């Protein structure tokens, strides 16, 4: 019936710490469900859909690996325990299996899940100048959201290449604190892929990454782009927000200061991220099915049943 954060116990380890917390919470209530999510930011969003005040305890456990690692849970907690994780790069793993009790988002991460709902349009209306938006869409022949997804997908494919490299024991790339405004065009919001690759190389402290040929990587991106068609599973929410922020700053925003953090906070606000936005989606259907299979335990807000 609340929000909890679990920290790793040096003696027990994280998974045992989770089970110990289940035991502690069971002393207070035998009727609430345990919902494990990846992090604190995630829990703030899931509060929009999950009834943490009455029927559920939302527990954030510092990482997807800890959610997955906790399942299957011990038998005495099995009926009341649920884990929610991002899809991440699982879209590129054939026949990926998950432990019982895990629900996976249908988009890359929680931010893309929200943005793939009417929330993206609401966010655009909240921050964008309608006349400038219309002008951009006429000039570019596509909607603002379509263009952001197009550019975000190229970055997402580069991230996928990096994921594949690391899984094969090769050094990874550093995507932290990239200057999006320097490789996203200020008129079209198109990404300059070669510039993006050069900035990632410069951002990564490893000689093997420095030696990568941008043209070869660009060709790999173009080939993979035709293989993975769903932008919402390829794009990372972080990248979409960054591109959107560039658009606000240089194309269709009101004359004011914008930051990714400010836009992210707005996206999480109740006026933008609405409970009804999940109705009918696979995530909603999976939660309803979980409730049907785990009577009497519930997780959803009453209005979403």
196 near 175, Cβ under 8 Å?
no
Q: Are residues 146 and 215 in the same domain?
A: yes
Same domain (yes/no): 235, 286? no
Give me the pLDDT at residue 43, please: 87
Q: Is the pLDDT of residue 137 over 50?
A: yes
pLDDT score of 273: 94
CA-to-CA distance for 116 and 112, rounded, in angstroms?
6
- Asked if 18 and 91 sit in the same domain, the reply is yes
DSSP state of 89: T
Q: Would you state the structure tokens that stand for residue 204, as one six-digit string?
A: 């990564």
Q: Are residues 102 and 151 in the same domain?
A: no
Judge if 129 and 82 occupy the same domain: no
Indicate the angle between helix axes 144-167 and 193-203, nearest 10 degrees. Answer: 40
Same domain, 240 and 292: no
**Token couple for 225:** 């782009």
Cα 245 from chain centroid (whole Å): 17
Count the domains in the chain. Answer: 2
Residues forming a β-bridge with 58: 3, 35
Sheet architecture: strand order including 102-104: 3-5, 56-60, 33-37, 81-85, 102-104
Q: For all residues of the chain together, what is the average pLDDT?
A: 94
d(CA 66, CA 44) in angstroms, rounded, equals: 18
User: What is the model's pLDDT at position 255?
Assistant: 78
| Tens-digit pLDDT profile for residues 76-93 | 999 999 999 999 999 999
pLDDT of 1:
44
Where residue 9 falls among pLDDT bands split at 50, 70, 90?
low
* Structural domain for 171, as ranges: 112-273
Q: CA-to-CA distance for 290 and 21, rounded, in angstroms? A: 22
Same domain, 14 and 62: yes
**Where does the pLDDT of residue 11 fall: very low under 50, low under 70, confident under 90, or very high at 90 and above?**
low
Segment 145-183, tens digit of pLDDT: 999 999 999 999 999 999 999 999 999 999 999 999 999
DSSP annotation string for the chain: --EEE----TTT-HHHHHHHHHHHHHHH-SS-EEEEES-HHHHHHHTTTB-TTTTEEEEE-SSHHHHHHT-SPPHHHHTTEEEEE--TTGGGSTT----TTEEE-SSSSHHHHHHTTTHHHHHHHHHB-HHHHHHHHHHHTS-HHHHHHHHHHHHHHHHHHHHHHHHTTPPPP--TT--GGGTB-TTT--B-HHHHHHHHHHH---HHHHT--HHHHHHHHHHHHHH---HHHHS-HHHHHHHHHHHIIIIIB-SS---HHHHHHHHHSTTTS-GGGGTTSHHHHHHHHHHHHSTT---B-GGG-
Distance of CA 249 to the CA centre of its chain: 23
Shared domain check, 185 and 166:
yes
Q: How confident is the model at residue 28 (pLDDT cuts 50, 70, 90)?
A: confident
Cross-strand partners of 5? 60
Pair 287, 269 in one domain: no
> Do 246 and 181 have their domain in common?
yes
Percent of the chain at pLDDT > 90 equals 88
Q: Which of these ranges, 25-34, 67-76, 239-248, 277-286, has the smallest mean pLDDT?
A: 25-34
Nearest Cα neighbor of 270 from 301, 236, 237 is 301
Whether pLDDT at 246 is above 70: yes
- Please tell me whether residues 232 and 138 are part of one structural domain: yes
- pTM score, whole prediction: 0.94
> Is residue 122 domain-shared with residue 265, that is, in the same domain?
yes
Contact at 8 Å (CB) between 56 and 1? yes
């Amino acid at each position: 019936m609340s929000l909890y954060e679990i920290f790793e116990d040096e003696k027990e380890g994280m998974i045992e710490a989770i089970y110990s917390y289940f035991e502690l919470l069971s002393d207070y209530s035998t009727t609430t469900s345990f919902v494990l999510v990846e992090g604190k930011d995630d829990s703030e969003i899931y509060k929009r859909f999950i009834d943490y005040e009455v029927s559920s305890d939302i527990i954030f456990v510092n990482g997807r690996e800890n959610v997955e690692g906790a399942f299957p849970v011990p038998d005495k907690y099995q009926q009341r325990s649920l884990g929610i994780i991002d899809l991440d790069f699982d879209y590129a793993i054939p026949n990926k299996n998950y432990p019982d009790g895990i629900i996976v988002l249908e988009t890359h991460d929680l931010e893309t899940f929200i943005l793939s709902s009417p929330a993206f349009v609401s966010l655009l209306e909240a921050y964008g100048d309608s006349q400038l938006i219309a002008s951009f869409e006429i000039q570019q022949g596509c909607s603002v959201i379509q263009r952001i997804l197009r550019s975000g997908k190229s970055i997402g494919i580069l991230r996928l290449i990096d994921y594949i490299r690391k899984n094969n024991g090769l050094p990874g790339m550093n995507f932290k604190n990239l200057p999006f405004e320097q490789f996203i065009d200020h008129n079209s919001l198109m990404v300059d892929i070669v510039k993006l690759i050069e900035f990632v190389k410069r951002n990564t402290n490893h000689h093997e990454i420095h030696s990568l040929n941008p043209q070869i990587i660009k060709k790999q991106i173009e080939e993979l782009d035709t293989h993975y068609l769903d932008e919402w599973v390829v794009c990372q929410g972080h990248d979409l927000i960054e591109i959107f922020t560039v658009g606000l700053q240089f194309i269709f925003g009101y004359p004011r200061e914008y930051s990714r953090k400010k836009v992210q906070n707005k996206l999480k606000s109740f006026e933008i991220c609405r409970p009804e936005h999940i109705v009918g989606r696979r995530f909603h259907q999976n939660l309803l099915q979980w409730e049907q299979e785990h009577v009497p335990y519930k997780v959803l807000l009453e209005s979403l049943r």
